[in-house]
Amino acid sequence: MAEHNAAPAAYAKPLPRITPDNRPFWEAARRHELHLPHCADCARAFWPPGPVCPWCFEENLSWRALSGRGVISSWVLFHRAWFPSFAGDIPYAVVQVELEEGPRLTSGTLNLPHDRLAVGLPVEVAFDDVTPAITLPKFRARRN
Amino acid sequence: MPARERRAALRDRTAIVGVGASVFGRGLPQSQLQLGLRAFKAALDDAGLRREDVDGLAINLGWPLGTDYDRVAETFGLDIRYANQTWTHGRFVTLALQHAALAVHAGLAECVACLTACSFTQEKDLLGGPHDIEGMREEGGTHGENPVYGQTSPSGGAALAFSRYMARYGATGDQLAAVPMALRRHAALNPAAIMREPLTLEAYRASRWVIQPLRIYDYCLVSDGACCVLVTSVERARDLAQRPVLLSGMQGIRSGRGEFIFGPPGLGINQQPESARTPLAADLGVYEMAGIDRAAVDAFYTYDAFSPLVLFALERFGFCGPGEAAAWVQGGRIGPGGELPVNTSGGLLSEAHVSGWNSIVELVRQLRGACGPRQVSDAHVMQWGTPWGDSVLFHN
């Protein structure tokens, strides 16, 4: 269980692939902010990131901060460690969160007991600094 | 010519004239090319054709899980003048079959071999985890993978979809169990199936979670095997050894923000809008093109890599309404002798995972009346239709 040693081992789980399309998301996460691409013409946030608004097909885009609030729209519990680096976490939760602004993100949970996992559970973003360069947005239960 | 007339012009113009399969098993020592050769030769023998008669390839095979069309052609000594390649994914079964028919109908080829060959037990590292190259893509893989959060394996997408389906419609794991149990009853009648012993509800309930809400029996076999299907014109088919199985109707794969590969439209996975999505006429062009009503379908075949996909496909083609499939499949309805038998060879859940081509081979044999104890009686019309919305309708 190298991940639980007193001297923390290097982070062994997969890290995001930073691309020109998603770089602002990960830069904002590092600042503990949740940013998504936003279309100025139809005033909506969208996901996944890309060079054009999927609704109006215009390119007047900017990245904007979101509330970070949403509800769990689906959840699963992994009982098998396809990634050896996740073996110590079994069973671990993966959730989809429907954000107040509309888009759904696939994510993980922080301090959220598995017996509270439910579709519709109000959650809010929390940030997990996993390496000096990478912070993962995850979600925890919201205290309304 | 309007699209509707162009579609009608393709109705019953092409046929499957030969089918072949290798042995199916787990841990088989053969390469994909060795398995594929067995299936290809068996299909030629079945049709009464020679290698020289095949001038087209539509292969559902390729990187990262197999060789490409040119390697197949040079290995088998073929002289190919039309090739279509979709890499090894169940989602591309229909595309390969449709391309074969379209190429024949357009005169680009006389006889197209559809070939797939899987050796999943040798390459299971590719099915999730650090070596799953496709699943490690930016913004996640093609089944909703997101490795950063541990969301991996194609089954992760099916689990997310079924978890939401349960919450939305009140479906239960016991209801889902009816799918693998029915397919196991089919497999018990099929000597080629890998898993033939009965599956009880008690055994299902006691089995381990893999990705909750999916248990091990909701998963397809990780197995090895190859299938080949030969498509030619209906004129050429008349001269050959077997009763032709005609391709009467088809519709293409659906894609867009309303779609998630392993969930029905309107479920609300990824960016799908949430709505109760009863299929419209525009979603069911396969029946209109064939001039055949859904009620005439004698058996239904689908991509059953994970048991919820069977429910989603049944709803997608309107056999029942949104959210109703979990109840609809109870009481033996999709099993042997049922109102709508599904995947009568045992499918990917119990026969073997040959990407779905084993179901195409099976329905051809059924429409020839050649399935012995598992023969669907008085079978005339059979449908292949996937959870992602494409389909081919066949009749004899």
Best mutation site among B143, B145, B149 for testing chain A: the one with the most A CBs within 10 Å? Answer: B149
Q: How far apart are CA B395 and CA A134, in angstroms?
A: 56
- pLDDT value for A130: 98
For chain B, positions 164-183, list CB contacts with chain A under 8 A: 164, 167-168
In this complex, the residue of B148, B164, B209 whose CB is nearest that of residue A74 is B164
- Which residue of B lies nearest to A105 if distances are taken between CA atoms? B270
Q: Is residue B291 part of a domain?
A: yes
Selecting from A74, A86, A106 the residue whose C-beta is nearest the C-beta of B140 gives A106
Chain A residues with at least one Cβ partner in B under 8 Å: 13-17, 19, 21-22, 46-49, 54, 73-80, 82-84, 86, 89, 91-92, 94, 96, 98, 103-104, 106-108, 118-120, 136, 138
How would you write B178-219 as a 3-class SS string? HHHHHHHHHHCCCCCCCCCCCCCHHHHHHCCEEEECEEHHHE
Q: Residue B53 is part of which domain span? A: 3-122+153-395
Cross-chain Cβ contact B211/A76 below 8 Å: yes
Q: Is residue B369 part of a domain?
A: yes
Q: Answer whether residue B147 is part of any domain.
A: no
Could you give the CA distance from residue B340 to residue A11 in angstroms, rounded to a whole number?
51
Q: Hey, are the CB atoms on B271 and A103 less than 8 Å from each other?
A: yes
Q: What is the rounded distance in angstroms from the CA atom of residue A1 to the CA atom of residue B20?
A: 49
pLDDT at A4: 47
Q: Which of A46, A72, A78, A83 to mutate to test the interface with B (most CBs of B within 10 A)?
A: A78
Residue B180: how many CA atoms within 13 Å on its side-chain side?
Answer: 29
Beta partners for residue B249, in sequence order: B393
Does residue B137 fall inside a structural domain? no
Residue in chain B nearest A73 by alpha carbon: B164
CB contact under 8 A, B150 and A92: yes
DSSP strand pairing (B56-60 vs B111-119): parallel
Report the C-alpha gap between B162 and B269 in whole angstroms: 10
Query: CA B164, CA A104: separation in Å to the nearest integer?
Result: 13
Chain B: closest CA distance from residue A13 (Å): 7
pLDDT given for residue A7 in this prediction = 53
Shortest CA distance from A135: residue in chain B? B148
- Report the 10 Å Cβ neighbour count for A142: 14
Give the pLDDT confidence of B273-329 residue by residue, as tens digits: 998 778 999 999 999 999 999 999 999 999 999 999 999 999 999 999 999 999 999
B213, pLDDT greater than 90: yes
Q: Is B371 a residue whose pLDDT tops 60?
A: yes
Residues of A in contact with B132 (CB under 8 A): 82
Instruction: Measure in Å the smallest separation between the Cα of B128 and chain A Cα atoms.
Output: 6
For residues B262-278, give the mean pLDDT. 91
Q: How confident is the model at residue A2 (pLDDT cuts 50, 70, 90)?
A: very low
B216: left (phi over 0), alpha (psi -120 to 50) or beta: alpha
Q: How many domains does chain B have?
A: 1
Domain of residue B201, CATH code: 3.40.47.10
Contact A17, A23 (CB under 8 A): no
Is residue B11, in this structure, part of any structural domain at all? yes
Q: State phi, psi for A6 to the nearest 5 degrees.
A: -60, -45
Bridge partners (DSSP) of residue B391 are B251, B385
Per-residue pLDDT at B245 exceeds 80: yes
With an 8 Å Cβ cutoff, are B257 and A54 in contact?
Answer: yes
Q: Which of residues 198-227 of B touch A (CB under 8 A)?
A: 208-213
pLDDT for B365: 98
Question: Which residue of B151, B210, B271 is in closest CB contact with A104?
Answer: B271
Other Cβ atoms less than 10 A from the Cβ of B260: the count is 22
A96 min Cα distance to partner chain B (Å)? 8
Question: For residue B189, what are the CA distances in angstroms to A39, B102, B192, B335?
Answer: 57, 35, 9, 11
Pick the closest to residue B259 from B157, B153, B163, B356 (CA basis). B157
How much of chain A exceeds pLDDT 90, in percent? 92
Q: Would B136 be classed as within a structural domain?
A: no
β-pair partners for B246: B15, B395
B136 with A14: Cβ contact below 8 A: yes
For B37-54, the pLDDT digits (tens) are: 999 999 999 999 999 999
Structure tokens at B174: 């016991």
- List pLDDT tens digits, range B64-102: 777 899 999 999 999 999 999 988 888 999 999 999 999
pLDDT for residue B135: 81
How is residue B259 written in tokens?
Answer: 């779609």
| Range list of β-strands (E), chain B | 14-21, 56-60, 82-86, 111-119, 209-212, 214-215, 224-233, 245-251, 299-301, 381-385, 391-395
Q: What is the pLDDT of residues B99-158, one digit of tens each?
A: 999 999 999 999 999 999 998 888 878 888 888 878 877 666 789 999 999 999 999 999
User: pLDDT tens-digit profile of A46-58?
Assistant: 999 999 999 999 9
The answer to whether position B139 is within a domain reads no
Cβ-based neighbour number of residue B85 at 10 Å = 18
Residue B373 burial (10 A CB sphere; 0-12, 13-18, 19+): exposed
Rounded to an integer, what distance in angstroms lies between the CA atom of residue B97 and that of residue B92?
A: 9
